[in-house]
Amino acid sequence: MSESEPNLLYSDIEQELRAGVRELLAARCPWQSVLGRVENDAAEVTDLALWRELAAMGVAGLPIAEELGGAGATWRESSMVAEELGRAVAPVPFLGSAVLAASALTAVDADEEVRSLVSDLAEGRRTATLAVPLSTAPGSAFPALVRAGDRTLTGTVPGVVDALNADVLVVPAVGADGPGLHLVAAEETVRTPVVSLDLTRPLTEVRLAGAPAVAVASGDRAVGAVESALVAGAALLSAEQLGVAEWALRTTVDHLKERTQFGRPLGSFQALKHRLADLWVSISQARAVVRNAAGAVASGSPDAPLAAALAQAFVSGVAVTAAEEAVQMHGGIGFTWEHPVHLYLKRAKSASIALGTADRHRGRIAELVDLPPAP
Amino acid sequence: MTTTNGAPPDAADLRKRVADLVAAHDPATTEQTEFLAARFDAGLAWVHFPPGAGGLGAPRALQTVVDAEFERLGSVPTHRDGLSIGLGMAAPTIVAFGTEQQRRRFLKPLYTGEEVWCQLFSEPGAGSDLAAVGTRAVRDGDSWVVDGQKVWTSMAHRARWAILLARTDPDVPKHRGLTYFVCDMTAPGVDVRPLRQLTGEAEFNEVYLDGVRLPDSLRLGEVGAGWKVAQTTLMNERVSIGGRPEPREGGLVGVVSELWRTRPELRTRGLHEELLKLWVAAEAARLTKERLRQQMAVGQPGPEGSAAKLSFAELNQRISGLELELLGTEGLAYDDWTFRRPEGQDPLRRGAGFHYLRTRGNSIEGGTSEILRTIIAERVLGLPAEPRVDKNVAWKDLPR
């Protein structure tokens, strides 16, 4: 391993963890049950019982220190778990609670309230989320949708991920003395479900009308905490997108081996083979990019913002292509509600907008590596 | 050549052997050929090769340890210009299929660079369908008489030896009637002619073989087993990734990025978009190659090598196209159409027009992108093979 490049491989421990998570998801979260849940009311899509089981395996607290109830591992292991959750389009509050909220909270000075919340998140006793529109990209201006008053918050935040079932909201807000980060009990807010494109990832509009809040960071610290949460979010979301893409490729390959037309398996037609080969090539590349981003975020490298932007600029497109190709190559069956491929298509396309589009991330890259636009 | 308990050497043992060799032959003062000969004799040329063949029978993955250690101690890199066919393709094939005598004769001068090798595989009628080669080798006592034409042969004008695939039995299906030889490039009847390419240069050659007599001792592997032997050669062609990590913006993307930074007057909005997309794609390709390198270093080579070649070809072609457009008026000019042999030059130092034209070959040479996609689909993804019309048909009866 060179000093300058992160380790892009999976450790033996990660592979063991992967096997455990995959086994649990296969038993508890087959696509038939995911499809069943998305037909429920918005409030029942998220599988909190499954989330508690995953948390009991340590999945929710991987990058959190052991003294705070976490597993004392890193974002690398977390990223590997995200791959499996993507592969299963699991409807659990991983992104909101275990990534965005946990990352923001571990970046602030931990008082007793924050420590107890972080340890509850790690152990799955409570869930939280970062109250920003899910489309917010790293490198954006500090969110100013919420005004901070005297220990109260007022404002409306559209499209918040994993908020409907959350216990606590971590809310960026701007007050008289500038940016701040606050904790709000979710029950003190008005939460309206949004009909979301990704059925397995419910979004919520959160309205705060003088909601009681506890400030946990202010000024640069608050700005830094939100930014690091968005960077970690982008890196981890790319891992989930890799899992989605791998599922789409695997499922399509299996289908093309089985399905016969014109007297031969579809998979023997070169026009289809070459498209799948191209997909496999981009997925191999996505894997390297995802590992690179996870490694950079895990080590707190100064390259983390670039690695995360690269991951979203590259992997989100790979996942969307994989899911779109899967629908096409499944033919008519791929266009039906009964086949799970639409769950993956919706997850992939939504995720390509979440935390910034590829275009936004390329813009960030241009700033970070000094490739300025035309005058 | 193994350690005292008979086990193959480990990393620590190899580091010590490198240190001992460097202590005995100071790389700063020892002549290069002599140094490489000593390295070969010490079994540190290819550590996974058997003792006596430049190796120590160590795990293949440890070669990177040895290379890094030699580099750290100031020795010359072994992969020098013009030697890649010998080092990367001929050597592993000779080790796998050669007789003791052949190994002794060929491996050392091949490694030191005293003898250059080329590859007589492709023909005007057999490119991607390599098993269709028509060059004939007919047995005559203790010799073979070879007649035919080969093409796309790099280094043939400097080569002392060639690896040669020839048809020895036209009456059986095409994959079964081939035999693999080492061809003596100084033998009477070998005629090497430069083949000028669309860049204006002649990197490659046509080689005409007219009644060339090769002793049977130059045959590599059994008569009729040429296809199997050639597979070893080709596998090694595609696996040759390793060495040091590539830096960000290494290669053509760095050339174009630098142009973008230093020539603001050339920038347009559309090209900015395109540049960023290619920058991202190049970084993804670089990291993929780095991941493969790390896999090989821990002894787990993956099938990503063929992915690396495919994406490298496409990327280079797109980036060089962008470079030309970015240059505008300057892109209409070409740096040099002089007919010449481009040996040992860094192609990145040539002009944008050359980059654009030369990279067209990246998706053709060493297996076309289309063939690579089929290989990935069938061997990696396990998709069913296409129906074939050339199976179980004697080569002489195939339409040509």
Q: Write out chain A residues lying below 8 Å of B378, CB-based.
A: 273
Q: Closest-CA residue in chain A for B295?
A: A9
Q: Which tens digit of pLDDT belongs to each residue from A235-267?
A: 999 999 999 999 999 999 999 999 999 999 999
What residue ranges do the domains of chain B occupy? Answer: 9-78, 83-237, 244-381
Question: pLDDT above 70 covers what percent of chain A?
Answer: 99
Task: Enter the ipTM.
Answer: 0.94
Enter the tokens of residue B110. 């091949």
Q: Binning pLDDT at 50, 70 and 90, where does residue B68 land?
A: confident
Nearest-CB residue to B290 (from A8, A314, A374)? A8
Nearest-CB residue to B280 (from A280, A362, A370)? A362
Tell me if A253 and B272 make a contact (CB, 8 A cut-off).
Answer: no
Query: Between A and B, how many CB-CB pairs are < 8 A?
Result: 137
Q: How many residues does chain A have?
A: 375
Q: Binning pLDDT at 50, 70 and 90, where does residue B241 land?
A: low
Tell me if A9 and B294 make a contact (CB, 8 A cut-off).
Answer: yes
Nearest-CB residue to B283 (from A310, A373, A374)? A310
Nearest-CB residue to A289 (from B257, B272, B287)? B287
> How close is the nearest chain B Cα to the Cα of A74, in Å?
20
Q: Which tens digit of pLDDT belongs to each residue from A77-94?
A: 999 999 999 999 999 999
Is the pLDDT at B50 greater than 90? The verdict is: yes
Distance from C-alpha of A232 to C-alpha of A224, rounded to nearest angstrom: 12
| Radius of gyration of chain B measured on its C-alpha atoms | 23
Would you say B124 and B151 are in contact if contact means Cβ atoms under 8 Å apart? yes
Tell me if B280 and A313 make a contact (CB, 8 A cut-off).
Answer: yes
| Residue whose tokens read 């995953």 | A54
Interface test with B, best of A272, A280, A364 (most B CBs within 10 A): A280
Q: Binning pLDDT at 50, 70 and 90, where does residue B387 land?
A: confident
Determine the pLDDT at residue B244.
67
Determine the pLDDT at residue B77.
65
Q: Binning pLDDT at 50, 70 and 90, where does residue B382 land?
A: very high
Distance from C-alpha of B224 to C-alpha of B265, rounded to nearest angstrom: 62
Q: Which tens digit of pLDDT belongs to each residue from B246-281?
A: 899 999 999 999 999 999 999 999 999 999 999 999
Distance from C-alpha of A80 to C-alpha of A76, rounded to nearest angstrom: 6
Tell me if B287 and A285 make a contact (CB, 8 A cut-off).
Answer: yes
Tell me if A285 and B311 make a contact (CB, 8 A cut-off).
Answer: yes
B204-215 vs B143-150, strand pairing mode: antiparallel
Nearest-CB residue to B380 (from A280, A292, A372)? A280
Question: pLDDT above 90 covers what percent of chain A?
Answer: 96
Tell me if B384 and A264 make a contact (CB, 8 A cut-off).
Answer: yes
Is the pLDDT at B64 greater than 60? The verdict is: yes
> How close is the nearest chain B Cα to the Cα of A25, in Å?
24
Determine the pLDDT at residue A4.
63
Tell me if B374 and A289 make a contact (CB, 8 A cut-off).
Answer: no
Would you say A258 and A265 are in contact if contact means Cβ atoms under 8 Å apart? yes
Q: Write out chain B residues lying below 8 Å of A292, CB-based.
A: 287
> How close is the nearest chain B Cα to the Cα of A303, in Å?
12
Determine the pLDDT at residue A2.
39
Half-sphere exposure of residue B171: CA atoms within 13 angstroms, side-chain side: 0
Q: Any chain B CB within 8 A of the CB of A141? A: no
Q: Which tens digit of pLDDT belongs to each residue from A41-55?
A: 888 999 999 999 999
SS3 label, residue B138:
strand
Residue of B200 and B67 predicted with greater confidence: B200
Nearest-CB residue to B279 (from A268, A276, A371)? A371
Q: Write out chain B residues lying below 8 Å of A265, CB-based.
A: 383-384
Nearest-CB residue to B291 (from A273, A288, A365)? A288
Nearest-CB residue to A268 (from B281, B376, B384)? B384
Interface test with B, best of A256, A273, A316, A318 (most B CBs within 10 A): A273
Supply φ then ψ for residue B399, to 5 degrees: -65, 135
CA dihedral B258, B259, B262, B265 (to 10 degrees): -150
Q: Closest-CA residue in chain B for A276?
A: B377
Q: Write out chain B residues lying below 8 Å of A241, CB-based.
A: none
Burial of A120 (0-12, 13-18, 19+ CB in 10 A): buried
Long-range CB pairs of A105-108 (<8 Å, 24+ gap) are A105/A170, A105/A216, A105/A225, A106/A63, A106/A64, A107/A217, A107/A221, A107/A224, A107/A225, A107/A228, A107/A229, A108/A181, A108/A216, A108/A217, A108/A221, A108/A222, A108/A225
**Quick one: which of B174, B170, B106, B96 has its CA closest to B137?**
B170
Supply φ then ψ for residue B203, to 5 degrees: -75, -35
CA dihedral B310, B315, B316, B321 (to 10 degrees): 140
Please give the domain boundaries of chain A with CATH numbers for all domains. 12-126 (1.10.540.10), 130-219 (2.40.110.10), 223-369 (1.20.140.10)
Tell me if A9 and B291 make a contact (CB, 8 A cut-off).
Answer: yes
DSSP for residue B126: B
Once rounded to an integer, what is the mean pLDDT over residues A323-341?
97
Q: What is the mean pLDDT of chain B?
A: 91
Is the pLDDT at A131 greater than 80? The verdict is: yes
Distance from C-alpha of A129 to C-alpha of A163, rounded to nearest angstrom: 6
Half-sphere exposure of residue A304: CA atoms within 13 angstroms, side-chain side: 23
Q: Give the DSSP H or E segment for B378.
A: none
3-state per-residue secondary structure call for A94-151: HHHHHHHHHHHHHCCCCCHHHHHHHHHHHHCCCCEEECCCCCCCCCCCCCCCEEECCC
Q: Give the DSSP H or E segment for B270.
A: helix B269-297
Q: Write out chain B residues lying below 8 Å of A280, CB-based.
A: 307, 376, 380-381
Q: Which tens digit of pLDDT belongs to each residue from B305-343?
A: 788 889 999 999 999 999 999 999 999 999 999 999 987
Q: Binning pLDDT at 50, 70 and 90, where does residue A3 land?
A: very low
Tell me if A374 and B311 make a contact (CB, 8 A cut-off).
Answer: no
Q: Which tens digit of pLDDT belongs to each residue from B191-205?
A: 999 999 999 999 999
Classify domain B244-381 by CATH architecture: Up-down Bundle (1.20)
Q: Closest-CA residue in chain B for A364?
A: B276
Q: Write out chain B residues lying below 8 Å of A281, CB-based.
A: 307, 310-311, 376
Tell me if A253 and B382 make a contact (CB, 8 A cut-off).
Answer: yes
Determine the pLDDT at residue B2.
45
Q: Write out chain A residues lying below 8 Å of B381, CB-based.
A: 249, 253, 273, 276-277, 280
Determine the pLDDT at residue B211.
98
Interface test with A, best of B249, B283, B304 (most A CBs within 10 A): B283
- How many contiguous H segments (helices) and E segments (strands) does chain B have? 12, 8
Tell me if A276 and B384 make a contact (CB, 8 A cut-off).
Answer: no
Tell me if A289 and B264 make a contact (CB, 8 A cut-off).
Answer: no
Residues 313-372 of A with CB under 8 A from B: 313-314, 362-363, 365-366, 369-372
Q: Binning pLDDT at 50, 70 and 90, where does residue A169 land?
A: very high
Would you say B14 and B62 are in contact if contact means Cβ atoms under 8 Å apart? yes
3-state per-residue secondary structure call for chain A: CCCCCCCCCCCHHHHHHHHHHHHHHHHHCCHHHHHHHHCCCHHHCCCHHHHHHHHHCCHHHCCCCHHHCCCCCCHHHHHHHHHHHHHCCCCCCHHHHHHHHHHHHHCCCCCHHHHHHHHHHHHCCCCEEECCCCCCCCCCCCCCCEEECCCEEEEEEEEEECCCCCCEEEEEEEECCEEEEEEEEHHHCEEEEECCCCCCCCEEEEEEEEEECEEEEEHHHHHHHHHHHHHHHHHHHHHHHHHHHHHHHHHHHHHHHHCEECCEEHHHCHHHHHHHHHHHHHHHHHHHHHHHHHHHHHCCCCCHHHHHHHHHHHHHHHHHHHHHHHHHHCHHHHHCCCCCHHHHHHHHHHHCCCCCCHHHHHHHHHHHCCCCCCC
Catalytic residues of B: 237
Tell me if B284 and A8 make a contact (CB, 8 A cut-off).
Answer: no
Interface test with B, best of A285, A321, A359 (most B CBs within 10 A): A285
Would you say B219 and B226 are in contact if contact means Cβ atoms under 8 Å apart? no
Q: Write out chain A residues lying below 8 Å of B372, CB-based.
A: 277
Tell me if A281 and B311 make a contact (CB, 8 A cut-off).
Answer: yes
Q: Any chain B CB within 8 A of the CB of A292? A: yes
What is B83-237's CATH topology? Butyryl-CoA Dehydrogenase, subunit A; domain 2 (2.40.110)
- Which amino acid is residue B189, in one-letter code? G
